[in-house]
Structure 1
């Protein structure tokens, strides 16, 4: 596969916009932000003007928009009626690239085993881990769910762990970068014993770190016209701790595995288009103040715009894939080369445990293998919309727009022109996300900072494919921890910047509310 190539970093003015510190523009000596690891053909002024017209939100809800039925552009695939709807390759993939997709799929599904093993190409699991393969979390390339009803469900949700950083702790690269542009971000560190992620499995001879416990409290919510809904609020704890107590001030953040479709298209949305929608000080007074996430790219050795993960903690599909290999499976790779994964100094047996690194391969998965998995992840296709011209769906689309949902769930983007990624190059896509961080209120807060994101902020998740969740994943659990059991419950959990829109949904005629859900089910 063609290796990723770096572009010239963005100018300092863009750095200031991303960092939320406009006063830094023009100052000398500040680091610049890396643009993209993709091989981009810059847009001309005329092309940029044309794109701006194409992505402008519609005000006509009498019929579906042109190309609306193809949310992934030319990469869109026919919507299947079985649970393989999220597992197809980009429809516009050239024939000579299909083998890379199939090889990547094989590595995505591969079960890793502990070392030493006769299967040298598959050993290196753990010693601590959450799953033995990528597929075990992203079953059928769909979303995970809480553990209720299935023991296997435990592998599709895990807990992030962190504690406040001591004042005397040296700053990380991203902390130093944010400070250099005049922004103080919350500083956290992994739990000193259990690291940055709770691993609930271990290879033979080692103790698992613990077991996540969830307790729900349910409450009734009154809606207009006598309708009601029930919301369940989760509380998280850890039992069966294998290495002693956690830090008393540990912060727990649950994360279900997100669906995998359309990742390469999201990666190809120009950073400047995302930044143009940011309004960190709510200067337009609409109550929406999306902020860009900034993360340190180990590929670029520079700060980059975060795009992937519930708090946009990864800047690229390749880095996201590498982080999952290291954190979820305990597999070292060129970006995260530590063989023992998330083991800490307080887990000496884990640090000394068996691993699969060798002189021939280097890491447990090498650069070629990681590139293949990233290629597969980048090219899982978005299924076509259904019933886009249905009268109730069009009514629901109007409600979605007029209620204010599009302030965060931006309907349309046009991707970069890319020299070596024809599948993602210059596509009109409909992901319904702005890829920015938003304050979602105390109800959804995990109270755990991550990069620039505080304990109440989350990246706007893309909505494409959300209506096929039950078909693909066998459940209808939504939000970052799967607490919502339906799309309506997910809407009713919105707070913070989305509070006003949520209240409108509660108060609108029941017919409009049903149409809104019907629209979401067609995405």
Structure 2
């Protein structure tokens, strides 16, 4: 029988929060020196704060009414928006000066970059190969990307590339780490666009295989398994050892709050050997931080391959837009040594900026994504929503989609400090079975493992992005499809959804739509 995996108490978490992650080697062996980001060093809470946190994190027992503060998934940072701009709002508790930085970072996030050389020196350096001209082009209104429609040029979906490589440096001490080397010709990902004089690396087309799933009550749902065709490859076939993974751009909300969750709180939920026998493991991804030059807990991306928002932002600038930063300084972006014409093309890093996106610009974009808030819940007290919440727990969804955390006390970041948040994710890796497997290891994640996706804001996906698409590659066109793709550790839970009475299944979807 499934048992709800009760989260650790807040007192235990606060006791761990200031410790090095070395002491948590049972959950993440070999994580020597991978403390939390030092500029986010937590302040030990007072006794009253610890008691409040413990009370807030108690598991739900009563499904007849919403839990206290459940309507505010981002705590005091929650915004009251439910329209197309719901994901593009600053945290409600930002001070005036921080909001000014947010607005400046937003302008950089939305900026359309141009090729070099250009008279607009602050905006040149695009490419030479790239997938989009602006961050906003993939993260539509800060929401999810989606697969392209037939004949449409992809922007919100990219194909990541890698080959198995030998472990080196400090990462060699991390058991289970899978170093990823780029394709020797095409690099870390395939780019669909190129500056004049160069050819795009490929043209993507997608076909679907339909899979009919019968449900209880005479209902059914059709799943769509994508098949990717890589046409017009500019430099010949990919290397036979190269593995491919399609990834859609994730939504941007609440990322600063995720970064502020104590690493100890995430690691305390890991159960890699399934010691409690509930069928759910959960493993931490440990990855290299370019910013801090050491292994750290991975939090961001579909496989939790990035440890901080600054790392994530720098990698996206390089791979998606071909822009150099202090963390990824190559002006040619993802061009490899085999792409000589690309590397020889003009770049925009030869002026006073030094890098195409300098340290200040990288910081401002990082501030922007850190301070994007989460919209308030819709109708959390609706009877059908409450019924669906109980179904969510009864079917075992909460075992991985952990409802709530309390963030750290952070000097200089009051908007993220000591907030009760409801991301509905344990931030850990789980085996999702062969149906979702990409066969591409990343860090400690295997080819079948994915980070539990946060569910906050998921009910506004179509409103914000203009199209409903879910999972790492956007294959699911409804929330029910997304649930039924769950395999591996989650197979028993998706099986329970199949046999639910139709009214309970509808209530579950209504609950998810309220998040």
Q: Specify the alignment match of 2:284 in structure 1.
A: 292
Q: Specify the alignment match of 2:163 in structure 1.
A: 163
Q: Specify the alignment match of 2:350 in structure 1.
A: 358
State the SS of the aligned residue for 2:303. Answer: coil
Q: 1:175 is matched with which residue: 155, 167, 171? A: 171
Q: 1:328 is matched with which residue: 320, 323, 331? A: 320
* Residue correspondence of structure 1 range 420-459 to structure 2 within 5 A: 420-459=412-451
Q: Specify the alignment match of 1:3 in structure 2.
A: none
Q: 1:55 is matched with which residue: 40, 54, 57? A: 57
Distance in 2, matches of 1:140 and 1:383, equals 13
Kindly tell me: are residues 46 and 33 of structure 1, through their superposed partners in 2, closer, same or farther at Cα, counting changes over 3 Å? farther
Residue 17 (str. 1) matches residue 9 (str. 2) = no
Distance in 2, matches of 1:73 and 1:150, equals 42
Residue 403 (str. 1) matches residue 390 (str. 2) = no
Distance in 1, matches of 2:398 and 2:35, equals 28
* Residue correspondence of structure 1 range 470-509 to structure 2 within 5 A: 470-509=462-501
State the SS of the aligned residue for 2:122. Answer: helix
State the shift of 1:9 in Å. 7.4
After TM superposition, the score normalised by the length of structure 2 is: 0.94
Q: Specify the alignment match of 1:208 in structure 2.
A: 200
Q: 2:507 is matched with which residue: 497, 515, 521? A: 515
Distance in 1, matches of 2:19 and 2:66, equals 39
State the shift of 1:174 in Å. 5.2
State the SS of the aligned residue for 1:393. Answer: helix
Q: Specify the alignment match of 1:139 in structure 2.
A: 140
State the SS of the aligned residue for 2:227. Answer: strand
State the SS of the aligned residue for 1:113. Answer: coil
Of stretches 394-403 and 43-52 in structure 1, the one that deviates more from structure 2 is 43-52
Q: Specify the alignment match of 1:27 in structure 2.
A: none
Distance in 2, matches of 1:8 and 1:269, equals 12
**Structure 2 unpaired stretches of 5+:** 1-16
Kindly tell me: are residues 11 and 248 of structure 1, through their superposed partners in 2, closer, same or farther at Cα, counting changes over 3 Å? closer
State the SS of the aligned residue for 2:319. Answer: helix
Q: Specify the alignment match of 1:111 in structure 2.
A: 112
Q: Specify the alignment match of 1:72 in structure 2.
A: 74
Kindly tell me: are residues 482 and 11 of structure 1, through their superposed partners in 2, closer, same or farther at Cα, counting changes over 3 Å? closer
State the SS of the aligned residue for 2:40. Answer: coil
State the shift of 1:59 in Å. 1.5
State the SS of the aligned residue for 2:415. Answer: coil
State the shift of 1:189 in Å. 1.3
Residue 196 (str. 1) matches residue 200 (str. 2) = no
Q: Specify the alignment match of 1:26 in structure 2.
A: none
State the shift of 1:43 in Å. 3.3
Distance in 1, matches of 2:180 and 2:101, equals 38
Kindly tell me: are residues 172 and 18 of structure 1, through their superposed partners in 2, closer, same or farther at Cα, counting changes over 3 Å? farther
Distance in 1, matches of 2:179 and 2:123, equals 37
Q: Is the 8 A contact 1:18 1:294 kept in 2?
A: no
State the shift of 1:87 in Å. 0.7
State the shift of 1:243 in Å. 1.5
State the SS of the aligned residue for 1:418. Answer: coil
Kindly tell me: are residues 267 and 150 of structure 1, through their superposed partners in 2, closer, same or farther at Cα, counting changes over 3 Å? farther
Q: 1:307 is matched with which residue: 262, 275, 299? A: 299
Distance in 1, matches of 2:47 and 2:444, equals 32
State the SS of the aligned residue for 2:313. Answer: helix
Q: Deviations over 1:322-378 (max 9, x none)?
A: 111011000000111111111111101111111101241111011111111011101
Distance in 1, matches of 2:254 and 2:178, equals 31
Distance in 2, matches of 1:325 and 1:17, equals 35
Q: Specify the alignment match of 2:101 in structure 1.
A: 100
Kindly tell me: are residues 9 and 360 of structure 1, through their superposed partners in 2, closer, same or farther at Cα, counting changes over 3 Å? farther
Q: Deviations over 1:81-126 (max 9, x none)?
A: x311111110001112211111001000000101111111000001
* Residue correspondence of structure 1 range 240-279 to structure 2 within 5 A: 240-279=232-271
Q: Is the 8 A contact 1:174 1:295 kept in 2?
A: no
State the shift of 1:151 in Å. 2.0
Q: Specify the alignment match of 2:3 in structure 1.
A: none
State the shift of 1:57 in Å. 1.9
Q: Specify the alignment match of 1:24 in structure 2.
A: none
Q: Is the 8 A contact 1:18 1:275 kept in 2?
A: yes
State the shift of 1:10 in Å. 1.0
Kindly tell me: are residues 91 and 150 of structure 1, through their superposed partners in 2, closer, same or farther at Cα, counting changes over 3 Å? farther
State the shift of 1:200 in Å. 0.8
Q: Specify the alignment match of 1:120 in structure 2.
A: 121
**Structure 1 unpaired stretches of 5+:** 1-6, 22-29
